[in-house]
């Protein structure tokens, strides 16, 4: 009874820490994690230290509840293995396990989100499921390894490519490589394998190569990919005006790409930008196999702008979660940390879905402060773990997806919205030219305030 009273106080005072912990128990319960490890690990094996135990420690770091694996290990108390064993386990987690963990966690999260159809984002091209591809290179780690001590350059632990489902907001697929110099073209087999019939894949120019485009088309899927200048185009029609988008004037023509005997006939959408890009480009070219009767050129140009959603997801992985643990120098350990951050992002997508079901999707997208949510989770989750025993949370692991969805929505309806609303800021002011230099290295703030007060009188 006392545990239920404590739980209700946390629901009232720190609802997002409760929602996160309950969803974490449902998506990440120990038997599920160990099952994923057993099915996909090829070299590692279980002894005294279970995969689920190591995952629990690193998840605390990813959610910013603990500053390091060492700190999480010291506070856990359940692991009898040594800290060295924990780090050894982390440094040998295989990329295949990371990919399977992300895929299966996303599937479990999707089962919960499917209970809230009103929280889904509508497809920009009716009948086609929008999926966004993008690559990410992990930031440099500390030079703790002996092979790095004499290196002045940044130590890059690896790279990854992720796929985001626009309907649900989930990062549904992830492929990792330990070699940070790996190019997206080397991953063509995995990337094409992700495409399903009636998918609409959106990607930047790094994915513009004929084998990838042809592979997606063979899966009866569609794409909108920015043209890479190294891929030759053969114009079949003249460039003709097609309208205006929010970023520029839109034109269209038919082109062919690819080697002789396997050429693809595609639509080329050219957007002549109102403002140049950061790289100085004044126009962008998009290649697509979407039929003209299904989407016009202006629609395809606006669809490509949805690519920012996955870049925003990577930004949230960095700012709100700790996707790059710089103390994990071994590539496999760093990639495992990143994959857990992707899983945590999907967990928070479930929480946002509960809010969207209770408050409305557009309201949540426009007003919810993810900073406020992340701060509450990182600050209050450790106390929540102390106040309520592990056994208390087992009920959420035993729930079905529909049962958890109903409970999450009930809690979301009672959340005081103003506490988590974004702070609206006014227009940016022009930065004045600053004074200073060697002749004036510092100033007295009190004197400047006094001078301004004197002038205003």
In-domain check, residue 455: no
In-domain check, residue 199: yes
In-domain check, residue 448: no
In-domain check, residue 86: yes
pLDDT value of residue 434: 73
- pTM listed for this prediction: 0.89
Same-domain check for residues 313 and 345:
no
Of 281, 296, 305, which is closest to residue 240 (Cα–Cα)?
Answer: 296
pLDDT value of residue 2: 63
From 273, 293, 319, give the residue that closes a domain: 319
In-domain check, residue 149: yes
pLDDT value of residue 101: 96
Contact 176, 160 (CB under 8 A): yes
In-domain check, residue 239: yes
How far apart are alpha carbons 200 and 117 in whole angstroms? 20
Same-domain check for residues 55 and 143:
no
pLDDT value of residue 401: 92
Same-domain check for residues 307 and 185:
yes
From 285, 319, 353, give the residue that closes a domain: 319
Same-domain check for residues 350 and 313:
no
pLDDT value of residue 75: 87
Same-domain check for residues 225 and 272:
yes
- Total domains in the chain come to 2
Same-domain check for residues 201 and 275:
yes
Query: Residue 159: how many CB atoms within 10 A of its CB?
Result: 23
Same-domain check for residues 263 and 135:
yes
Alpha carbon dihedral 296, 302, 303, 304, in 10-degree steps, equals 120
Of 339, 347, 385, which is closest to residue 37 (Cα–Cα)?
Answer: 339
pLDDT value of residue 147: 84
pLDDT value of residue 436: 66
Same-domain check for residues 87 and 197:
no
Of 224, 136, 201, 139, which is closest to residue 175 (Cα–Cα)?
Answer: 136
CATH number where 291 lies: 3.90.350.10
pLDDT value of residue 19: 95
Tokens of 49: 């230290």
Same-domain check for residues 279 and 165:
yes
DSSP H/E element including 12:
helix 2-13
From 319, 335, 363, give the residue that closes a domain: 319
Q: Residues 116-121: contacts with CB within 8 Å, 24+ apart? A: 116/353, 116/354, 116/356, 116/357, 116/405, 116/409, 118/356, 118/357, 118/361, 119/353, 119/354, 119/356, 119/357, 119/361, 120/167, 120/168, 120/361, 121/166, 121/167, 121/168, 121/169, 121/361
Residues in the chain predicted with pLDDT less than 50, given as ranges, are none
In-domain check, residue 136: yes
How far apart are alpha carbons 159 and 421 in whole angstroms? 34
Same-domain check for residues 277 and 379:
no
In-domain check, residue 377: yes
Contact 65, 382 (CB under 8 A): yes
pLDDT value of residue 279: 82
Strands 234-235 and 248-257: antiparallel
Tokens of 168: 């649900």
Contact 327, 68 (CB under 8 A): yes
Same-domain check for residues 352 and 292:
no
Domain containing residue 65: 2-33+40-92+327-420
Same-domain check for residues 61 and 130:
no
Of 259, 254, 251, 252, which is closest to residue 236 (Cα–Cα)?
Answer: 254
pLDDT tens for each residue of 285-325: 999 999 999 999 999 999 999 999 998 898 888 888 888 88
């Amino acid at each position: 009874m006392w545990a239920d009273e404590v739980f209700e106080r946390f629901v009232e005072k720190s609802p997002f820490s409760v929602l996160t912990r309950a969803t974490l128990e449902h998506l990440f319960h120990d038997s599920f994690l160990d099952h994923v490890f057993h099915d996909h690990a090829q070299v590692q094996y279980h002894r005294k230290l279970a995969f689920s135990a190591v995952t629990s420690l690193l998840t605390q770091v990813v959610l910013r509840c603990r500053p390091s694996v060492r700190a999480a290990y010291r506070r856990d108390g359940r692991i009898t293995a040594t800290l060295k064993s924990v780090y050894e386990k982390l440094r040998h987690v295989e990329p295949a396990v990371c990919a399977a963990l992300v895929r299966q966690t996303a599937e479990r999260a999707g089962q919960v989100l499917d209970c809230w159809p009103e929280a889904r984002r509508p497809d920009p091209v009716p009948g086609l499921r929008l999926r966004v591809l993008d690559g990410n290179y992990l930031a440099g780690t500390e030079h703790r390894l002996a092979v790095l001590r004499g290196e002045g350059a940044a130590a890059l632990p690896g790279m990854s490519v992720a796929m985001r489902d626009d309907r649900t907001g989930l990062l549904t697929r992830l492929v990792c490589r330990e070699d940070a110099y790996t190019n997206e073209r080397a991953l063509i087999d995995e990337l094409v394998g992700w495409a399903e019939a009636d998918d609409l894949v959106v990607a930047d120019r790094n994915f513009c190569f004929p084998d990838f485009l042809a592979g997606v088309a063979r899966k009866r899927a569609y794409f909108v990919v920015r043209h890479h200048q190294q891929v030759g185009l053969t114009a079949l029609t003249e460039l003709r005006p097609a309208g205006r988008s929010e970023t520029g004037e839109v034109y269209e023509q038919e082109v062919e790409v690819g080697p002789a005997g396997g050429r693809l006939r595609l639509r080329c959408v050219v957007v002549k930008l109102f403002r140049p890009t950061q790289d100085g480009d004044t126009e962008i070219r998009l290649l697509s196999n979407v039929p003209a009767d299904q989407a016009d050129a202006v629609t395809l140009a606006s669809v490509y702008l949805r690519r920012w959603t996955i870049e925003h997801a990577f930004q949230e992985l960095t700012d709100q979660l700790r996707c790059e643990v710089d103390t994990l120098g071994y590539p496999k350990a760093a990639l495992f940390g990143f994959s857990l951050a992707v899983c945590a992002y999907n967990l928070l997508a479930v929480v946002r879905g509960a809010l969207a079901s209770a408050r409305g999707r557009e309201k949540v997208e426009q007003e919810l402060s993810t900073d406020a949510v992340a701060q509450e989770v990182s600050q209050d989750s450790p106390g929540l773990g102390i106040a309520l025993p592990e056994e208390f949370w087992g009920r959420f692991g035993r729930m079905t997806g529909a049962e958890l969805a109903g409970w999450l929505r009930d809690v979301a309806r009672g959340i005081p919205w103003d506490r988590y609303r974004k702070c609206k800021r006014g227009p940016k002011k022009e930065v004045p030219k600053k004074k200073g230099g060697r002749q004036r290295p510092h100033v007295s703030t009190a004197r400047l305030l006094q001078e301004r007060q004197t002038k205003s009188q």
